[in-house]
Chain A
């Protein structure tokens, strides 16, 4: 049973990715039918996310450091979080429409298709304009990497891509868990946004500007700190506000895996409760 179970899970993953690709492709083609609108939203997106960083630049025109962190250091935090979040937002960013889909009944039409529902709802409203956010994050990250004052060791260099991938997985898990929550409470898309977009904004500032209780919560309860705070503090050689062992800086992939598994369980139980309550 174990073997066939593993096989079934693997094929569900392959099937899911395939369905995701097919549906995402349809959405891209749909958005291309309004070409002007597409171009305008791409630029709009770049502009809005760009202004986001301008706010931080403005702050640094008045002060030399933020919570003891210099501008390139804050830019590093910002670039890492924005890029990781951008990737998650591109891949699963429309999961907040799930509540609306349940309310108008179109969620049912996904359940009669021979493809995993998570892949179908994940690919829902897939939009390439979200590349704008990744681009902006990557630009800030690039600037930070060249201007930050760090002795680059092999470990530190390796940590950068590890942070991006783990961070994207952690944010993706948050989107999935939020979607599972929306099955129970259908008008909860704003609650989900508070955690995803809110979490992203939080991580763009140094942990030292926040209270210790908040930092503890973001480290141990909702482990967003592993997107950038904890590993970046190691890379920059800065003390983390709450005492953590040094290996914690390398724990991001583990944390991401745990988040991923919990989100998967949450999604499955959410879907099961939908199918037994129909709400």
Chain B
């Protein structure tokens, strides 16, 4: 057997654009037409078996990209292929090869037992009986759904329903799984379960995974690669660690002192907020928190502390501001 080529571009985007015509009401019947570039000349490839995080602020163009990848929307320009198929032209053919989970809306049947939704998938996707049984057993075991199969979906918790939705999207053995905010609104335990399952899916079955999220931890724990999009443009494509460098992001150290004190002075960290005995210090994400904590503990009466990871939105906002600044400098 020949070894798999290192780079097998499973998803390919070449200068893909999506322009929306937005009609704005300007008077009683007058409308102004304006064009909005939701996705502005984006190019990337994802190899088979990769797990990629796709992040950006609301309205950045994430969902629009996912909708083009699944064939829901037709690109206005550029070239797009998934498994060699043009999604918008052969939507139903592609449907057999992809799985989609929309975090905020379930595709399960609200009033029926969970298993009924799976039986529908079985028939709608024409999954061979043996394969269906095998996949169902595996998914039920890994996603811990055994006790839930006969429960009407409306009675499931949000976390249970999300696991149920993920299973529904995987019964037909898709080669790629798109997840739109898969951990939104879930409690810590449910999040951990979902992440663990996705990691297994990716490593054991080599399913390509593309997920959008607001939760930086999803990316940290799952993705070796992250793509950042803002205003329809690709801002960053690479490992997560590199993102912090590029964005010069900062972590926050929250310190509770024994009593109210003047702002702490400690090296690269600077106090951003003081509220009674509690102080917030920002420090570069690349710096070690341990060193900083040791220094503060040595000089100040410390009661409690916690470290907050940089907010992904803040990282992106900062990156974007810099980009704009650079562009301005280039013009002048």
Contact = CB atoms under 8 A, between A and B. Distances in A.
Interface of A: 19, 22-23, 26, 29-30, 33-34, 104-106, 108-109, 111-116, 272, 275-279
B96 interface: yes
Nearest to A108: B72
A112 B72 contact: yes
How many chain B residues sit at the interface, stated as a range, is 20 to 34
Nearest to A25: B120
B111 A30 contact: yes
B278 interface: no
B120 A22 contact: yes
B161 to A, nearest CB: 14
A114 B120 contact: no
B217 interface: no
Nearest to B38: A278
Contacts of A278: 18, 20, 38, 64, 67, 72-73
Interface of B: 18, 20-21, 38, 64, 67, 70-74, 76, 88, 91-93, 95-96, 98, 100, 102, 104-105, 107, 109-112, 116, 120, 123-125, 152
B73 A276 contact: yes
Given A275-B74, A276-B73, A113 B20 contact: no
A112 B98 contact: yes
B34 to A, nearest CB: 13
Contact of B124 (A19, A276, A279): A19
A30 B95 contact: no
Contacts of B98: 112
B162 to A, nearest CB: 15
A112 B38 CA distance: 21
Given A22-B123, A278-B20, A111 B70 contact: yes
B74 A276 contact: yes
Nearest to A116: B92
Of A33, A106, A115, A276, most buried by chain B (CB within 10 Å of CB) is A276
A24 B72 CA distance: 23
Contacts of B70: 111-112
A113 B124 contact: yes
Given A29-B116, A33-B111, A109 B102 contact: yes
B116 A112 contact: no
Nearest to A111: B72
Nearest to B66: A108
Contacts of A114: 92-93, 95-96, 124-125
Contacts of A22: 120, 123-124
- Ranked 6 nearest A-B pairs via Cβ: A114-B95, A30-B111, A111-B72, A112-B100, A114-B92, A33-B111
Contact of A33 (B38, B74, B112): B112
Given A30-B111, A105-B102, A277-B21, 6 more contacts: A26-B120, A109-B107, A112-B95, A113-B124, A115-B124, A116-B92
Of B98, B120, B124, B125, most buried by chain A (CB within 10 Å of CB) is B124
7 contacts: A22-B124, A33-B111, A111-B72, A114-B93, A115-B92, A272-B74, A279-B20
Contacts of B124: 19, 22, 113-115
A276 B20 CA distance: 8
Given A22-B120, A114-B96, A30 B102 contact: no
Contacts of B18: 278
B152 A33 contact: yes
A32 B21 CA distance: 44
B91 A111 contact: yes
Contacts of A106: 105
A113 B98 CA distance: 10
Contacts of B116: 26, 29
Contacts of A272: 74
Given A22-B120, A277-B20, A112 B71 contact: yes
Contacts of A112: 70-72, 91, 95, 98, 100
A5 to B, nearest CB: 14
A26 B123 CA distance: 12
A116 B92 CA distance: 8
Nearest to A34: B111
A29 B112 contact: yes
Contacts of A30: 109-112
Contacts of A108: 67, 72, 102
A249 B18 CA distance: 51
Contacts of B125: 114
Contact of A276 (B76, B92, B110): B76
Given A22-B123, A29-B116, A111-B91, A105 B152 contact: no
A23 B117 CA distance: 10
A149 to B, nearest CB: 50
Contacts of A105: 102, 104-105
A108 B72 CA distance: 7
A19 B88 CA distance: 21
A144 to B, nearest CB: 39
B168 to A, nearest CB: 11
B53 to A, nearest CB: 21
B71 A111 contact: yes
B107 to A, nearest CB: 5
